[in-house]
Amino acid sequence: MSAGTETRALARVAQAQAASPQPGEGGSRRRRKTNAVTEPEGRRGKAGYGLVSPGLIYLLLFFILPVFTLLATSLYVKPPGADVGQFAPALEFGNYAVVLGGYWTELLRSFWFALLATVLCLVIGYPMAYLIAVRLRGHAFLQGLLLVLLIAPFFTSFVLRTQAWKQILADQGFVVQTLKTLNLMPDGASLTTTSVAVVAGLTYNFLPFMVLPIYANLQGLDSRLLEAGQDLYANGVTTFRTVTFPMSMPGVLAGTLLTFIPASGDFVNAAILGNNRNTTMIGQVIESKFMRVLDYPGAAALSFILMVAILILVTLYVRRFGTRDLV
């Protein structure tokens, strides 16, 4: 490598670093502004509490209280001789052992389907986000058009979009007929009411939740860093592995969380695209217990188990792959 090439690469990196705020620089500016303010500390504190109080009240009413209500309901018991759907307050922790022992298969299957859908969304969504944010940088019309096409399905119902996949994967549909023509599927095989259809529906419905955070992160990627990699004779794969992907990790982390969490508790895709034997997800069980069986303690216990399990998995994931921007 020539000295001139190395000098140009270092200069590009230095320019990129100079253009981005240095660690602590924003804090120093805020401290200087704070020191310049002469109003009393008490008044500033009251103003801050006033600004955050609506959000805190909203969280208290619509998140914290419902969680405690859910926990209390999960401990209810059915009195002897009570009608269907009638329960009394109690502290029956055995409800958790009963539902966990009866539905642990559906719980694990839900996490497995959500994991597969998340990986597929990342594999499909990252190139889409990279194309829109990096390759089409400077082409505002094409960027806007692709973003509109990406979010356009949100203008239709979630149920209708899932029902459309049932028609796409039908036995007489284009996908199945093409696979059978290529001898990739036996004549009597079907895609609907299978785990393949459920994972495909999850991937399609939650794909924008993966693409948009990655796009937002790549949009701020400094192109001079990519040029510096090229000046150092790095090929495209090396530049992507050492520069692009590490700098897009906050978007990848946010996208995987936004995809995995709702996919774990989803029941619409499994109810429409699957069957009630080997594709049942935990969301279907909870919905059935709440709406048809009227087993409120069992449904609440399953909901609380699902919430705690997701919280544990997300915490482990963030600690393992998290970045300083999110942890």
Domain harbouring 241, CATH code:
1.10.3720.10
Q: What's the confidence (pLDDT) of residue 296?
A: 95
User: Is residue 204 situated within a structural domain?
Assistant: yes
Q: Average of pLDDT values for 72-90? A: 93
Question: Is residue 25 in some structural domain?
Answer: no
The answer to the question of residue 138 being in a domain is yes
* Residues 190-217: tens digit of each pLDDT: 898 899 999 999 999 999 999 999 999 9
Does 82 reside within a domain?
A: no
Q: How many CA atoms lie within 13 A of 149 on its CB side?
A: 9
Indicate whether 8 belongs to any domain: no
Calpha distance 299→69 (Å, rounded): 13
Per the structure, the count of domains in the chain is: 1
Query: Residue 7 has what pLDDT?
Result: 55
DSSP assignment letter at 60: I
Which tens digits make up the pLDDT trace of 234-292?
788 888 888 899 999 999 999 999 999 999 999 999 999 998 788 999 999 999 999 99
**Mean of the per-residue pLDDT values of the chain:** 86
Report pLDDT digits (tens) over 278-309.
Answer: 899 999 999 999 999 999 999 999 999 999 99
Tokens found for residue 287? 């919905």
Structure confidence at residue 233 (pLDDT): 75
Can you say how many angstroms the Cα of residue 127 is from the centroid of all Cα atoms in its chain? 17
Q: Give 245-311 as a DSSP string.
A: HHHTHHHHHHHHHHHHHHHHT--HHHHHHS-SSSS--HHHHHHHIIIII--HHHHHHHHHHHHHHHH
Residue 20 binned pLDDT confidence (cut-offs 50, 70, 90):
low
- Give the domain extent around 99: 94-322
**Strand segments (E) across 58-197:** none
Q: Mean pLDDT, to the nearest integer, of 4-11?
A: 56
pLDDT at 89 over 60: yes
How confident is the model at residue 326, as a pLDDT?
46
Q: Answer yes or no: is 56 within a domain.
A: no
DSSP conformation class of 152: G
What burial letters (b/e) apply to 76-113, b meaning 16+ CB within 10 Å?
bebeeeeeeeebeeeebeebbeebeeebeebbebbbeb
Please give the single-letter amino acid code of residue 292. Answer: R
Residue-wise pLDDT tens digits, 99-138? 999 999 999 999 999 999 999 999 999 999 999 999 898 8
CA-to-CA distance for 76 and 74, rounded, in angstroms? 6
What pLDDT score does 231 carry? 77
Residue in the structure block whose two tokens are 């069957």: 275
What pLDDT is recorded for position 188? Answer: 83
Q: Is residue 226 part of a domain?
A: yes
Token pair recorded at residue 257: 């969380």
Q: How confident is the model at residue 157 (pLDDT cuts 50, 70, 90)?
A: very high
Given a contact cutoff of 8 angstroms between Cβ atoms, the answer to whether 267 and 284 are in contact is yes
Cα–Cα distance, 231 to 223 (Å, whole number): 13
Predicted local confidence at residue 37, as pLDDT: 47
Note whether residue 294 is domain-resident: yes
Beta bridge pairs of residue 88: 77
* Closest listed residue to residue 201, CA positions, set 146, 155, 240, 164: 164
Query: Rounded distance, CA 245 to CA 107, Å?
Result: 32
